[in-house]
Amino acid sequence: MNALLAIIILTYRESLRKKILLVLVLFCIGLIVSSAFFPVVSPSARIKLVQTWTFQGVTFFGILVAIFLAAVSIPSDIENKRVFLILTKPVTRETIIMGRLIGFILTTALITIIMALVGLGYIRLVALFSPEAQGALEVNQRIKPDKFYFHQSSSAPSLDSLRPIGSPVGATSASLNGLYDTRPNDRPVGRAAEEGQELEVALEGEGNNFAAYEFNNLNDYTFLDDVKVEINLKTGEGLGKVSSTILVKVVNPTTKEEATQKLNITYRRTEVAQFDRRLIDKAGDVRIFFYRANPASYIKVGPASVMLLSPQSSFEWNFFKAFGIVFLQIVLVLVFCVTCSSFLSGPVNIFLNMFLYFCGSGMKFLQDSLETMKLTMLEQVKRENLAEVAGQVQRYSDGDIPLWLMQLSDSILSNVLRIIPDFSRFDVWDNLLKGYAINISEYTHLLEYVFIYLAVMLVIGIAAFRLREIK
């Protein structure tokens, strides 16, 4: 234990003396400060820009600090013969690996905290000189609806008559939270409902069509006098038009008191409506209806298209929760750097981990590319089968890729993506920028993800370092 603590302290002190550390930190702070001087359209946009540069800058330079510190640690010890001095003492190679990793984690934690505090202070300073933009720092918790209804008919049934999808005739809507349909056969709508995926329904054509969302037990949340409603409806009106007007009606289920307002919405753009807090009944229930103002338009709705916003904790607390997730990402990079340093040289290790990070950050793009390749393969198989049935030989044009080559590429890429860590799942920048509260529950899955890689990579690193012959 004493040996491990000695290695940790030694690593921590050595890291703080590195000049590259100071250079990267100063460069990050310089970029954060310069962001406030870029031209913007409004004070609110300026605050958002400073937030963006702060979050992205600390993430990027935090990763660089982790790579440049950890990737060359053990190779440098071997090259400079320092490892011989350490191994002459009662110190195992496992202790060296563990001590180096923990020491680097402490160092990057300190650096991340410093850069985050500078960024937070600067955000507050910019906001201080723009009082009218204080709303850009509001933090809200998104509340999902308990029940989702839609109606596609010329008739106008009451909401209480709607039945859950797949339920027997006569079942009440109160028995199930989820997706609801008004059709008499009570069958799921489309393949998505059968697979439990996100369901979207287009309200179009003639008739009294509407979508409705029911929220229950809202007394557990905090609201101001006006309750904010976040709306993400896909819409259109005629050919080439990407916006339309809808009617939003909020109803108190107990008193039947209601309020209606017109709202202009744009395709794939988030809109925010407001209604009086008193429309939520004593039980904490409220219903929100959406109608088309123009029969020529359509709206596409889903269970997650509408959410309520509840004011939550301070911006500072949400800010540090976000950077806690950033730090988990840095820890994951450190694990790979220390492990690979047990059998690779410093420059190769730096290049490899930069490559892994950028690939992991673009994991969604790589996965989409893989799916596109699989679809192409299916089309190619269909063409070959049709050619075989017709007694013909499948001919490839100059732009076609042979099926065997696509299958080989698919196999290689699929296996590689299983090894590369998915850094995109750590990206909470969008939630921070939009003012969404970051739930502590999000840490559970990320901690499990990091722990799995930590355990596997440490076993590999220790085994490789044991087998390595040091001359």
Domain boundaries, the chain: 2-133+315-362+424-467, 140-311
Per-residue confidence (pLDDT) for residue 250, from 0 to 100: 92
238 pLDDT above the threshold of 60: no
Residues 6+ apart with CB under 8 A from 411: none
Contact between 246 and 204 under an 8 Å Cβ cutoff? The reply is no
Per-residue confidence (pLDDT) for residue 354, from 0 to 100: 92
Please state which of the ranges 125-139, 221-235, 454-468 shows the lowest mean pLDDT: 125-139
How far apart CA 305 and CA 202 sit, in angstroms, is: 12
Per-residue confidence (pLDDT) for residue 166, from 0 to 100: 36
Where is mean pLDDT largest: 20-34, 101-115, 137-151, 298-312? 101-115
Return the DSSP state at 220.
Answer: G
First vs last C-alpha separation in the chain: 27
189 pLDDT above the threshold of 60: no
252 pLDDT above the threshold of 50: yes
* E strand or H helix that includes residue 346: helix 346-361
295 pLDDT above the threshold of 80: no
Chain Cα centroid distance, residue 177: 25
Q: Are strands 140-143 and 163-164 parallel, antiparallel or unpaired?
A: unpaired
Residues 6+ apart with CB under 8 A from 123: 47, 50, 51, 54, 137, 319
pLDDT level of residue 460 (50, 70, 90 thresholds):
very high
Please state which of the ranges 38-52, 306-320, 383-397, 415-429 shows the lowest mean pLDDT: 383-397
**Is 262 in a helix, a strand, or coil?**
strand
pLDDT level of residue 186 (50, 70, 90 thresholds):
very low
Nearest to 332, CA basis, from 303, 361, 311: 361
Residues 6+ apart with CB under 8 A from 456: none
Per-residue confidence (pLDDT) for residue 177, from 0 to 100: 36
Per-residue confidence (pLDDT) for residue 202, from 0 to 100: 67
> How confident is the prediction for the chain on average, in pLDDT?
78
Per-residue confidence (pLDDT) for residue 420, from 0 to 100: 86
Side-chain-side CA neighbours of residue 74 (13 Å): 32
Average pLDDT for residues 208-227, to the nearest whole number?
Answer: 84
214 pLDDT above the threshold of 90: no
Average pLDDT for residues 354-369, to the nearest whole number?
Answer: 82
398 pLDDT above the threshold of 50: no
Give the full edge-to-edge strand order of the sheet including 271-276: 140-143, 306-311, 226-231, 271-276
321-346: b (≥16 Cβ within 10 Å) or e: bbbbbbbebbbbbbbbbbbbbbbbbb
How far apart CA 138 and CA 148 sit, in angstroms, is: 28
How far apart CA 77 and CA 94 sit, in angstroms, is: 15
Contact between 28 and 76 under an 8 Å Cβ cutoff? The reply is no
359 pLDDT above the threshold of 80: yes
| CATH of range 140-311; options 2.60.40, 3.90.930, 2.60.120, 1.10.3470 | 2.60.120
pLDDT level of residue 388 (50, 70, 90 thresholds):
low
Partnered with residue 264 across adjacent β-strands are 245
Per-residue confidence (pLDDT) for residue 394, from 0 to 100: 55
**Is 276 in a helix, a strand, or coil?**
strand
pLDDT level of residue 39 (50, 70, 90 thresholds):
confident
Return the DSSP state at 470.
Answer: P
- Please report the sign of the dihedral spanned by the C-alpha atoms of residue 282, residue 283, residue 287, residue 288: positive
Where is mean pLDDT largest: 87-101, 102-116, 235-249? 102-116
Per-residue confidence (pLDDT) for residue 165, from 0 to 100: 39
Average pLDDT for residues 79-91, to the nearest whole number?
Answer: 73
Per-residue confidence (pLDDT) for residue 181, from 0 to 100: 43
Contact between 107 and 12 under an 8 Å Cβ cutoff? The reply is yes
240 pLDDT above the threshold of 70: no
226 pLDDT above the threshold of 70: yes
pLDDT level of residue 195 (50, 70, 90 thresholds):
very low
Residues 6+ apart with CB under 8 A from 90: 3
Residues 6+ apart with CB under 8 A from 80: none
Partnered with residue 231 across adjacent β-strands are 271, 306
How far apart CA 23 and CA 17 sit, in angstroms, is: 12
Contact between 219 and 199 under an 8 Å Cβ cutoff? The reply is no
338 pLDDT above the threshold of 90: yes
Average pLDDT for residues 71-75, to the nearest whole number?
Answer: 87
Give the amino acid at 166: G
173 pLDDT above the threshold of 60: no
Partnered with residue 266 across adjacent β-strands are 243
Per-residue confidence (pLDDT) for residue 117, from 0 to 100: 92
Side-chain-side CA neighbours of residue 125 (13 Å): 11
Per-residue confidence (pLDDT) for residue 380, from 0 to 100: 67
pLDDT in tens, 261-279: 888 888 777 888 899 999 9
Residues 6+ apart with CB under 8 A from 399: none
Using the structure block, give the residue that is written with the tokens 């005739």: 169
Report residue 268: phi and psi, to 5°: 60, 30
Per-residue confidence (pLDDT) for residue 158, from 0 to 100: 53
